Structure 1
Amino acid sequence: MQISPPSLDGQLRLSNLALAVADLPKMVNWYQSVLGFKVDTEGEFPIVGARYAVLEGAGLRIELITRTGANFRPVDRSPPPFHLSQLGWKALVLHSEDLKTTTAVLRAHDVEICWAEEKTTEHLKSTLIRDPEGNFINIFGPLQDD
């Protein structure tokens, strides 16, 4: 009889998502001014020579982290759907009950918009944007909010 190793079911919970960035102050400012996130904590991780800021908003905690003097490799900027050929996390996905207004606010901030208010499923549409360093943020909203 083979005994299965123990499971971690119920042992873990989400703490935050971590995003490596090149320009920490610029990215903190963008996530605050455009998406409305607030800084919760800031600090350093001496073990990896990094500085970080943990932001809270939209029911999430996002850790923006950077290594001083690092030789950064840029984000893959393949356009959709070709971005799905590169393995790894694809997008921060958010939801808005009023996608039309959300999209208008993003336009007012001159955010890079890949598509705006496009029908993605029978019940949803989305606006796909990039943050200043090229990371995708996909914002879904109900199809009938016109």
Structure 2
Amino acid sequence: MTATPQTPTLPATLTLGAVHLTVSDLDRSVAWYQRSLGFRVHSHDGTHATLGDGTTVTLELFEDPAARPAGRHAGLYHYALLYPSREELARAAVRLSVTDTPIEGASDHRTHEAIYLPDPDGNGIELAADREKTAWPTDLGYSRGPAPLDFQALLGTIDGEAPTAQLGEGLKMGHLHLHVGDIDQGLAFYRDVLGFEEQANLGTAAFVSAGGYHHHLGFNVWRGRGVGPAPEHTVGLRHWTVQLPTADDVDAVRARVETTEDHPGGFLVRDPWGTAVAFVAQS
């Protein structure tokens, strides 16, 4: 659904930055992300680590030894690591196989292909590669739902290659998917206040984006309508990051939001369930 002239709209060229997660054991998580996903460690101190492809940080981990697994509340469903090509997604699939890393599912969404798995704390992860936008269906695949992922076709793109231990350059954050307590309330915040454009409302889940992308954000009520914020000392999402082209773009969003928190390079705002998103200018 395209925004009306009265509805604020985020810049079509926005990108997503690093996702910040709480984990219960930092060393365990860093070792898992290195081994199973091939991440490179950009920094690692006693309680904080930054991970990425060696050039761009896509994940920041913060240790809370008192953190407990997520339960029936709002928060992270999964975050999506977006690979630059099908070949890189195929290499990621092989890496999962050779490291005996379990997955929870795999789908062809017609706009993108995806593999789903949890990290050691149960934080949901999607490994994804977009198809060319010219091949996307007009309904962005939402009316029919996903199809099973054709692993044979995916792995055929790198037939004969030896497994690689580390991911190549070009990894980005593709989208977030959240648990919320109410779809209409979620749309009122993410669409009507922040300025994402609605792409689909399936009743129990909605998908929004900027610039006609299939989705930069999904949110659902699959943990129950009316669920509340995550309690203290829970593993999961600390905040996610939206990068806008200019500082003026950041200020324009800030002006639409009632309550904000200071954040380096911009500001942080919380949705009705306390889930935080940071808006910063692209560097």
Measured against the shorter chain, the TM-score band is: 0.5 to 0.7
Match in the other structure for 1:72: 67
Secondary structure of 2:37's partner?
A: coil
Task: Choose which of 113, 122, 126 in structure 2 pairs with 1:125.
Answer: 113
- Point out where structure 2 has 5 or more consecutive residues left out of the alignment: 1-10, 132-149, 157-283
- 8 A contact 1:40–1:56 mirrored in 2: yes
Q: CA deviation at 1:86?
A: 4.5
Secondary structure of 1:32's partner?
A: helix
Q: Distance in 1 between matches of 2:108 and 2:19?
A: 27
Secondary structure of 2:70's partner?
A: coil
Secondary structure of 1:91's partner?
A: strand
Normalised to the residue count of structure 1, the TM-score between the two structures is 0.63
Classify 1:42/1:103 alpha carbon distance in 2 versus 1 (closer, same or farther; 3 Å): closer
Matches within 5 A, 1:28-107: 28-43=30-45, 51-57=47-53, 59-67=56-64, 70-76=65-71, 86-96=73-83, 97-98=86-87, 99-107=89-97
Q: CA deviation at 1:115?
A: 0.8
Normalised to the residue count of structure 2, the TM-score between the two structures is 0.36
Match in the other structure for 2:18: 16
Classify 1:62/1:86 alpha carbon distance in 2 versus 1 (closer, same or farther; 3 Å): same
Q: State the AA in 2 paired with 1:75.
A: A
Size of the alignment, in residue pairs? 117
Secondary structure of 2:76's partner?
A: coil
1:26-80 alpha-carbon deviations (Å, 9 max, x no partner): 1111111222222222335xxxxxx11122228433221113xx4321134xxxx
Q: What is the CA RMSD across the aligned residues, in angstroms?
A: 2.9
